[in-house]
Amino acid sequence: MTHQTVGQPGLPDDPCANVVEPTPSCPVEITLAALHGRWTTLVIREFLHGGRTFTELRRALPALSDKVLSDRLAHLTAAGVLDRRRESGWPPRVHYTLTPHGRRLGPVLQALWDWGTEQLPSTETEGAPPTRGASSVI
């Protein structure tokens, strides 16, 4: 996405901050691409609690089909978020863990969470009913 936030120092004049169309090389796009797809963030959440095997994930997320779970794991592995390790022995098991890079998604998800829990301040036009608060989850 090629942004730079308000007055924030640190990314003063990155050339990417001026692109005029979506490009996969933009850092914001890279991150959004890593998080892209339904279920992806829920899968990552599971890993923030520790390593998991395919079956453990399937039990943790029963509504997620094998195919999509497989897709997500492959995608996250390719993105450098997960580390895939075949355990020797029988039955064959594959153990996934967050890479150090993947672990640093924690603050990113925290930022997403924080914004999502924020009340919509009634500063838009009138007084928006505060029914969209953070209290009613699921």
Say whether residue 74 binds its own copies (CB under 8 A): no
Give the Cα separation of 101 and 28 in Å (integer).
Answer: 15
**With b meaning 16 or more CB within 10 Å and e meaning fewer, what string describes 94-127?**
eebebbeebeebeeeeeeeeeeeeeeeeeeeeee
- Contact between 137 and its own copies per CB under 8 A: yes
Angle at 40 between CA 24 and CA 35, to 5 degrees: 25
Should residue 61 be labelled a site residue for DNA when binding is judged by CB under 7 A?
A: no
Residue 74 binding DNA, by CB under 7 A: yes
106 binds its own copies (CB under 8 A): yes
* Segment near DNA (CB under 7 A); pick from 1-9, 36-44, 100-108, 113-121: 36-44
User: Does 130 help bind its own copies (rule: CB under 8 A)?
Assistant: no
The residues of the shown chain that bind DNA, judged by CB under 7 A, are: 22, 36-39, 53-55, 58, 64-68, 70-71, 73-74, 84, 91-94
